[in-house]
Amino acid sequence: MIEITEIELGVTADMHVHLREGKMMELITPTVREGGVAVAYIMPNLVPPITTIDKVVEYKKQLEALSPTTTFLMSFYLSKDLSPELINEAAKIGAIQGVKCYPAGVTTNSAHGVDPNDFTAFYPIFEALEANNLVLNIHGESPPKKDSDDIHILNAESKFLPILSKLHSDFPNLKIILEHCTSQDAVEAIEKLNAGYKDGDKVTVAGTITAHHLSLTIDSWAGNPINFCKPVAKFPSDRNHLVKAATSGKPYFFFGSDSAPHPIEGKARHTGVCAGIYTQKYALSYVAEVFEKNNKLENLKTFVTDAGVSFYEVKDVKCSDKCWLVKDKFNVPEVISSKDVTVVPFKAGDELQWKVEWRK
């Protein structure tokens, strides 16, 4: 058996990235590239959320100033502020590649989100997305109902899946992503919606999978706010299904880190802990480790490059070099910080096996 010590991944993509604003944005934006990512799809859940062309253009400019060789794909936040006309205009000038849908109340800065039980109100927007070949990104959790077993944090994703199926059935040509799949049910739903898929077909419904959900389970975040994110990591069997999907080489599962930095003060709290895990700076190192452990390194490039780039039909990229991973162990630092802000990275202190290198 030959040991693999270098892997060429090409123009890699992370299709779910939170870069925030201000001092946090300044610290985190350059780490997209450091973590091995060339193309990043940027979340619009700022405060207030991004719902105008001016704001998205200005935000992209700020990000490009901080990391000129990273390709930023931009998005709007689905809300009543959007209109089909705005979508058409934004698509025409290439200001956005998609729209992100947050059910109200399910995660960080989702207070302006929508009621997924009343999606028909947004059908004109979805029609405009479909017509312009833009992507609809969905945080797929039904909003919690506190006093019954109907919906709680462990089944909120499963409860959302029928809504996903209906959307796909109503908009068969709309490109939809179920973001950050966390459950066996989610994996099976994406498989089912792609049941007729044949090599070379255009994928219309895909699931993204984060780095952290490939290793965490419920026991990992109980008592460890640093591992708390939404949707929460679930059972070992769910995690195993995610690993199987991510490493499968199938084009409808690809990488979206949902790297979501919070200042350490937002994590070390006795109440109201911020949901989100910061993985950006070591994104591909975390992922490669899982693929290696499962003897699936040959499918890593599909997951972190080809499937996402193909789904989004990414054409122009800012970098002229390629991402490589090189077997070379190192320890994740305890914190990532500037003079203004400190973030604890995922697996702080742990040893990882693969380092990022950019080569011409």
Please give the residue ranges that form the binding site for a copy of itself (CB under 8 A).
144, 146-149, 152-154, 217-219, 221-228, 232, 235-237, 264, 267-275, 344
Rounded to a whole number of angstroms, the minimum distance from the CB of residue 235 to a copy of itself is 6
29, 55, 87, 204 from 62: Cα distances, Å: 10, 11, 22, 31
Residue 76 — φ and ψ, nearest 5°? -95, 160
d(CA 153, CA 169): 26
Contacts of 139 (CB under 8 A, 6+ apart): 100, 101, 102, 103, 106, 107, 110, 113, 179, 180, 230
Rounded to a whole number of angstroms, the minimum distance from the CB of residue 266 to a copy of itself is 9
Considering beta carbons, is residue 226 or 309 the nearer one to a copy of itself? 226
Residue with tokens 């209906």: 166
Considering beta carbons, is residue 179 or 238 the nearer one to a copy of itself? 238
Contacts of 237 (CB under 8 A, 6+ apart): 184
Rounded to a whole number of angstroms, the minimum distance from the CB of residue 147 to a copy of itself is 6
Considering beta carbons, is residue 226 or 356 the nearer one to a copy of itself? 226
Considering beta carbons, is residue 92 or 146 the nearer one to a copy of itself? 146
Per residue, what are the HEC states of 205-236? EEEEECCHHHCCCHHHHCCCHHHCCCCCCCCH
Rounded to a whole number of angstroms, the minimum distance from the CB of residue 18 to a copy of itself is 17
Rounded to a whole number of angstroms, the minimum distance from the CB of residue 269 to a copy of itself is 5
CB-CB contact of 282 with 346 (8 Å): yes
Considering beta carbons, is residue 174 or 232 the nearer one to a copy of itself? 232
